Amino acid sequence: MPSPSYLQPLVAPLRFLAQSDFARLSTVKGLDRLVKTALEAARAARSGGDVQLLERVAQALERGGAESPQEALRALAPRVREAEASSRAPDAARPPTTAPRQEVQGGPRPTSTRAAPSPTSARSSLTAESRSTDASRRSGAARQPPETADAAVPSGTTSSGTAGGSARRKKARAQGSLLDEPRPDRRKARSARASPEPEVEEVARPIAAAPRQGPLSQPIGGSGIRVPPRLVEGLNKKGLERVGDLLFLLPRTYEDRRRLSTLRELRPGERGVAVGTVRMARDLMIRPGKRGFQAVLADETGSIALTWFQSGPWMRSRVPVGKRLIVSGELRATPGGREMVHPEIEPADEGSGPSLHTGRIVPVYPGFERHEQRQVRALVARVAAMHLGAVEDPLPEELRRRLALPSLGEALARIHQPAADDDLASLEDHRSPAHRRLAFDELFLLHLGMALRRQGVKHEPGIAFQVDGDRLANARALLPFTLTRAQARAVAEIGRDMARPEPMHRLLQGDVGSGKTAVAAVAAALAVEDGWQVALMAPTEILAAQHHATFARVLGKAGVEVTLVTGSGTGSEKRRAREAVESGRARIVVGTQALIQEGIAFEKLGLVLIDEQHRFGVLQRQALGHKGRRPDVLVMTATPIPRTLAMTLYGDLDLSVLDELPPGRTPITTRVATANRQPEVWEAVELELRKGRQAYVLYPLVEASEKIDLADATRGAEELQARWSHRRVQLLHGRLKQEEKDAVMAAFRRGEVDVVVCTTVVEVGVDVANASVMVIQNAERFGLSQLHQLRGRVGRGAAASFCYLLPSFASGPDARVRLEVLEQSTDGFVIAEKDLELRGPGEFLGTRQSGLPELSVANLARDQALSAVAAEEAKAIAASDPRLTRPEHRGLLRALEERWEGRLSLAQVG
Ligand code: ADP
Ligand code: MG
C-alpha cells in the first residue's frame, strides 16, 4: 500500500485524538482545514479510497452532517496510521545523511545537509516542499562564516532590520526548524508554516467531581486570594470560575524537573528541562509585518537557541539578556544548530532549593499555553494551600481506610504537587494513587447513583401481574418449540418479577439468535393474558416489522391483536394504528422510536419490551416507561456487553442471560479476505447459491457519507447482478420507501430473491433461515460486536454457514488484526471484551450513549477491577442506607446530587 504524503499532516492530530477515543474533537482546531487540504490532494492523486474516507470526515465535520465526526475519523484512522508507519520505515532505513548530533552540537555548522530529511519525524508533502525551497535559499546562506556559538543564531545580528539574504535566511531557518509534528505547545509556531496545521488545544475543564456548593464554590477572584483581574477573566473564559474548579482541574501531564539538565545533556528529539542565562536576544522577521523572537541561552556546557514565531514587546521583558531562565521543551537539532521552539520559560528562582516550579515534578494544565503554566501552577498552589482544608471527603471514613485510599484532600494536593519520589509514568498515565482515588470517586458515585435509582424505582408501586403455573404453561405453549434451559430460566425470572408489585427492570442479555425474542413473546403473552397492553420498541423499522410478524404469528393464535407503529406510513394508517392503541383494541404494539414520540397514548400499558437497548439511552428507556403507570420493563440486548460495562450501564437493571443457543445450529465459519482473495469469496458465495441457499452482501452506511455508501452498495448490486445474471439480486437500503423495503425482505424470506445487497438498515434481527452466507464489505468500518451481530443473520438454520469480511483496500493492518478476532471466536462475550479493549468504551457504546455522568479520570476499559470494587461498595451502601440518611453518608448524598445533576431524582431517596 503506497503511503501518500497528504495523509501525513493528519498523523499527529489523529494520534492525539485517538487517545481520547476521539472524544476531545473540539480541542483540535483547524482539523477541517487540514482534512480538506488532504482531500484535495487525494483527489488530485486519484486515490479513490482516500477520497472516500476523507470526504466522510469532511462532511461529518461540517455542521449538520449526520455521521458523527468521531465515526468518520475512526474509519480514517487506520489508513492514517498506516501512512505514519510507512513514513517511518524508509526513514529508518536511510543512511544518516542528516546532520548527526555531534556535528550539530559542536563543530562547524554543516551547510549542505539540508536536503535530507531528519529521521525523527513524519513529514508532509507540504513541509517537504518548504524544505526544498529552504535548501535552495540556504545555499546562498551557506557561504556565511560558521558560527562560533552552537546555537542557531548568527552572531552579531541584533535586530529584525537585517536586510536581504540574511532576513530570508532567517525566515528559511524559521520554517526549517519547525519541520516536526505539531505539538499542543507549538500552536503559535504553526502560523509560520506553509502547511495548515490544526491547533491542538485541550480544554481546561475541571473533573466532573468539583463541588458546586460550599466554600469551594466561591468565585476565583473573591476567595481571599488576590488574582489579577485579567487572569480571572482568562480563567473564566475557560470555564474556570470557582475555587473548586481550580482544585479539580486535572493536570494534563507532568514534567520531571527534579533534575535540570545541562544544555549539553539535552538530546535532540527529546523533551528536556534545563537552566541557563540569556546571552543574546533579538527580533526575528518571519515575514513582513510578522515578528518572531529568538534568544541564545547558555550555561557552562554550551548554548542553544530559543525561538518563537510569534512575538510582541513583552518578549524582551520576558527574556532579557543576562536573565537566568528555566526552559523546557523539545530540543531540535537543525543544521543551523540546536534549538527549542516555543519552549516553556520560567525565571529561574534565585534561591537554589526546590520551589513550586523547579526541583520537582510539576503539573502541566490543560487549556493553557506553556508560558502560562507557571502562573496557573502558582495560582492553583495558592488556592490549594488556602482551601484544601475545606475539601469535604464524600467517602465514608471507614470505606476509605478499608480500601486504603488517600483522602480527597490528600489526593488533590498530590495531583497538583507530586512528591519527589512519585512515579512519573503513573502520574502521566493518571494511574498514581492520587489519581486512583479520584477515579474511584467517579466510579463509586456512578454505581451508587445507579443502585439508588434502581431502588428508588423498586420502591414505587408497580403492577403485580397474575402469573401462575397454568398461565405460564399456556404462554409457553404458544411457541412452536421447547424453550432452551437458558430460556426457561429467563422466563421463570421474568414471571417472578412480573408477579411482584415492584416494577420489573430486567435486562435480557444473549447472543444473537439465542432466542430473546421468544422469551419476550412469552412475557408479552403473560401480560396480555392479565389484561394489559404491551409495547415493544425496536431500533429499526425492519426489525420492528419483523417483531411485528413474529408476535402476530405467535400471539395471533391466541386471538391477540398486534399493531405496528412506525414513523413511515400514510397519515391515515398512522391514525388508525394510534386509535387501535388508544382504544385498547391493540394489545401488543410494536414500533420504533415513534412509540415514545408524543401522540401515542396507551389504554393500559403494563409491559414494555425494548430490543437492542444499547442504542437507546437510559433516558429514552425512561420515556417509554412513563407512558404507563410504572409498567414492567424488559430490555433485550444482542450486544453482549462486558460485565463491568454492563454493570455501569445497566446497574439499575436485574440481569437474565441466555448463554445457550437453540439446538440444531452449526457455527458460522468466518474469514477475513484481503483484496486478492475476493474472487474466491464470490466463488464460495456462488457455491451456496447453487445449493439453493441465499446470501447477504452488506455495505456499511453512515448518513454523512450516505451518497458514497449508497453508490457503493448500488454499484455492488449491479456488479453482482452482472456476474450472476440468472440470479435475483436485490438492493435494500434505508432510502427506499417502507413498502419497498418490506417487499424486498418479504421476497427474500420467500426465497424469491437470492442475494440481497443491503446497507446496514438490515442490521440486526432479520431472520431468514435459508440464508447461509454473508459478505461484509468495508468490514473494518464496523465494530467487532456489531459484526458479530450481523453475521448472526446467517447460521440460523442447520446448514453450515459462512461470513466473509472484506476490509476496504484503504484499511490498514490494524484493521485486519482486529477483524481476525471474529475468525477465532463465536462467543459474543469474548468478542465484546476484545472490542472494548481495542476501541475503548466510548466507541464501543457509540457516541449517542448518554444519560450517565461523564468520567474524566476513570477509564471503564482500563479500570474494570476498580469499577467492580466501586460497584460492590455502592451496592452495600445502597442496601444498608437507601436514603443516605446516616451522618457518615451525608457527604455522599451531596456529591451524588452534584454528580448526577438532578438526574437521579434523589428527592425520592434522600
Ligand atoms: P434473538 O432475538 O436472541 O436474536 P430469536 O428469538 O430471534 O433470537 O431466535 C432466533 C431463532 O431461533 C428464531 O428463528 C427462533 O424461532 C428460533 N428459536 C428461538 N428459541 C428456540 C428454541 N428454544 N428452539 C428452537 N428454535 C428457537
Ligand atoms: Mg432478536
Pocket test for ligand 1, best of 476, 478, 479, 481 (most atoms within 8 A of CB): 481
| Cα separation, 437 vs 442, whole angstroms | 9
pLDDT tens for 743-757 read 888 899 899 999 999
| CB-CB contact of 720 with 797 (8 Å) | no
Pocket test for ligand 1, best of 476, 489, 514 (most atoms within 8 A of CB): 514
Cell of residue 70, nine digits = 468521531
Cell match 531562565: residue?
A: 325
Does 10 score more than 80 pLDDT? yes
Using alpha carbons, select from 10, 432, 428, 379 the residue that is nearest to residue 181: 10
Cα separations in angstroms, 571 against 542, 566, 576, 601, 743: 19, 11, 9, 17, 20
Answer with the residue of higher pLDDT: 113 or 12.
12
Pocket test for ligand 1, best of 635, 656, 659, 767 (most atoms within 8 A of CB): 767
Measured in whole angstroms, how far is the alpha carbon of residue 447 from the centre of its chain? 21
pLDDT tens for 786-837 read 788 888 888 777 778 999 999 987 777 778 888 999 999 888 878 877 877 7
Is residue 828 in contact with ligand 1, taking CB distance under 6 Å? no
| Cα separation, 614 vs 619, whole angstroms | 11
| CB-CB contact of 448 with 896 (8 Å) | yes
Average pLDDT over residues 867-879: 89
Does 730 score more than 90 pLDDT? yes
Indicate which ligand has the atom closest to the C-alpha of 483. 1
Looking at 197-211, 231-245, 485-499, which range is the least confident one? 197-211
- What pLDDT is attached to residue 813? 79
| Type of residue at 647 | M
Q: Answer positive or negative: Cα dihedral of 64, 65, 66, 70.
A: negative
Confidence band of 197 (pLDDT split at 50, 70, 90): very low
Mean pLDDT of all residues belonging to the chain: 76
Percent of the chain at pLDDT > 90 equals: 27
Average pLDDT over residues 620-649: 68
pLDDT tens for 73-116 read 888 887 877 766 655 543 333 333 333 333 333 333 333 333 33
| Cα separation, 788 vs 668, whole angstroms | 10
| CB-CB contact of 272 with 253 (8 Å) | no
| Cα separation, 467 vs 526, whole angstroms | 7
Answer with the residue of higher pLDDT: 625 or 411.
411
Confidence band of 625 (pLDDT split at 50, 70, 90): low
| Cα separation, 755 vs 729, whole angstroms | 5
Cell of residue 94, nine digits = 536511510
| Cα separation, 595 vs 777, whole angstroms | 33
- What pLDDT is attached to residue 839? 62
- What pLDDT is attached to residue 795? 77
| CB-CB contact of 275 with 348 (8 Å) | yes
Cell match 482531500: residue?
A: 39
Q: How far is the CA of 846 from the centre of ligand 1 (A)?
A: 27
Average pLDDT over residues 690-699: 92
- What pLDDT is attached to residue 121? 35
Q: Whose CA is nearest to atom 10 of ligand 1?
A: 513
Q: What share of the chain is helix, strand, coil (3-state, %, to 5)?
A: 45, 15, 40
Answer with the residue of higher pLDDT: 172 or 232.
232
- Bridge partners for 658 per DSSP: 510
Looking at 335-344, 371-380, 843-852, which range is the least confident one? 843-852
- Listed ranges 108-122, 264-278, 449-463, 556-570; the one with the highest mean pLDDT: 264-278
Using alpha carbons, select from 367, 309, 312 the residue that is nearest to residue 184: 367
Q: b/e for 735-769, b at 16 or more Cβ within 10 A?
A: eeeeeebeebbeebbeeebbbbbbbbbbbbbbbbe
- What pLDDT is attached to residue 692? 93
Looking at 119-128, 644-653, 681-690, which range is the least confident one? 119-128
Q: Which residues contact 743 (CB under 8 A, 6 or more apart)?
A: none
Average pLDDT over residues 20-34: 70
Q: Which residues contact 501 (CB under 8 A, 6 or more apart)?
A: 461, 462, 463, 464
| CB-CB contact of 274 with 327 (8 Å) | yes
- What pLDDT is attached to residue 776? 93
Cell match 502520574: residue?
A: 427
- What pLDDT is attached to residue 601? 85
pLDDT tens for 263-291 read 999 998 888 889 999 999 998 887 787 88
| Cα separation, 300 vs 417, whole angstroms | 31
| Cα separation, 311 vs 835, whole angstroms | 47
Measured in whole angstroms, how far is the alpha carbon of residue 260 from the centre of its chain? 37
Using alpha carbons, select from 555, 664, 678, 676 the residue that is nearest to residue 609: 555
Q: Dmax over Cα atoms in the chain, in whole Å?
A: 102
| CB-CB contact of 559 with 498 (8 Å) | no
- What pLDDT is attached to residue 641? 66
Q: How far is the CA of 780 from the centre of ligand 2 (A)?
A: 24
Ligand 1, atom nearest to 482 Cα: 23
Q: Which residues contact 58 (CB under 8 A, 6 or more apart)?
A: 32, 35, 36, 39
Is residue 562 in contact with ligand 1, taking CB distance under 6 Å? no
- What pLDDT is attached to residue 403? 94
| Cα separation, 61 vs 25, whole angstroms | 10
- What pLDDT is attached to residue 896? 82
Cell of residue 331, nine digits = 530540543
DSSP letter, residue 524: H
- Bridge partners for 636 per DSSP: 508, 611
Burial class (CB in 10 A: 0-12, 13-18, 19+), 471: middle
Confidence band of 162 (pLDDT split at 50, 70, 90): very low
Helix (H) or strand (E) holding 129, with range, is helix 125-141
Cell of residue 594, nine digits = 415513534
Is residue 809 in contact with ligand 1, taking CB distance under 6 Å? no
pLDDT tens for 35-64 read 888 888 888 777 778 888 888 888 877 755
Does 186 score more than 60 pLDDT? no
DSSP letter, residue 887: G
Q: How far is the CA of 528 from the centre of ligand 1 (A)?
A: 21
Per DSSP, the three-state class of 307 is strand
Q: What are phi and psi of 542, to 5 degrees?
A: -65, -40
Is residue 637 in contact with ligand 1, taking CB distance under 6 Å? no
DSSP letter, residue 287: E
| CB-CB contact of 607 with 555 (8 Å) | no
- What pLDDT is attached to residue 552? 94
Measured in whole angstroms, how far is the alpha carbon of residue 646 from the centre of its chain? 18
Q: How far is the CA of 656 from the centre of ligand 2 (A)?
A: 15
